[in-house]
A = this chain, B = another copy of it.
Amino acid sequence: METATTLGLVAGALTTISFIPQVIKIWKTKHARDISLGMFAIFSSGVLLWLFYGIQIGSIPVIVANAVTLGLSLTILIFKMRYK
């Protein structure tokens, strides 16, 4: 595989899995006061558009990474509304 492609895949994996510790933290503490609702609302909208972008250009890595990120980001958004 090309170096650039490998780099992109590792980058995508890292930015996607990075949301997991935040989901776990809020789940355990039931606290989300310091989390910005604005951040996760805007971020989720942006990731949804990235997903549409991936579908339009037919890129499986972009589709998969953004579908997973959207799920995690929306989970944090729901937690924020629940535990504010």
On whether the beta carbons of A19 and B39 are closer than 8 Å, the reply is yes
If A19-B39, A34-B26, A36-B22 touch, does A11 touch B46 (CB 8 Å cutoff)? yes
On whether the beta carbons of A12 and B42 are closer than 8 Å, the reply is no
Contacting B at CB under 8 A, from A22-55, are: 22, 24-26, 29, 31-43, 45-47, 49-50, 52-53
Give the oligomeric copy count.
2
Bound-state CA distance A44–B35 (Å) is: 17
Interface size on A, residues (CB 8 A): 43
Q: A66 → chain B, closest Cβ, in Å?
A: 9
Report A's interface with B, CB cutoff 8 A.
Answer: 3-4, 7-8, 10-22, 24-26, 29, 31-43, 45-47, 49-50, 52-53, 56-57
Given A7-B52, A11-B53, A25-B34, 20 more A-B residue pairs with CB atoms under 8 Å apart are A7-B49, A7-B56, A8-B50, A11-B47, A11-B49, A14-B46, A15-B42, A15-B43, A15-B46, A15-B47, A17-B42, A18-B38, A18-B42, A21-B38, A25-B38, A26-B34, A33-B33, A33-B34, A34-B34, A34-B35
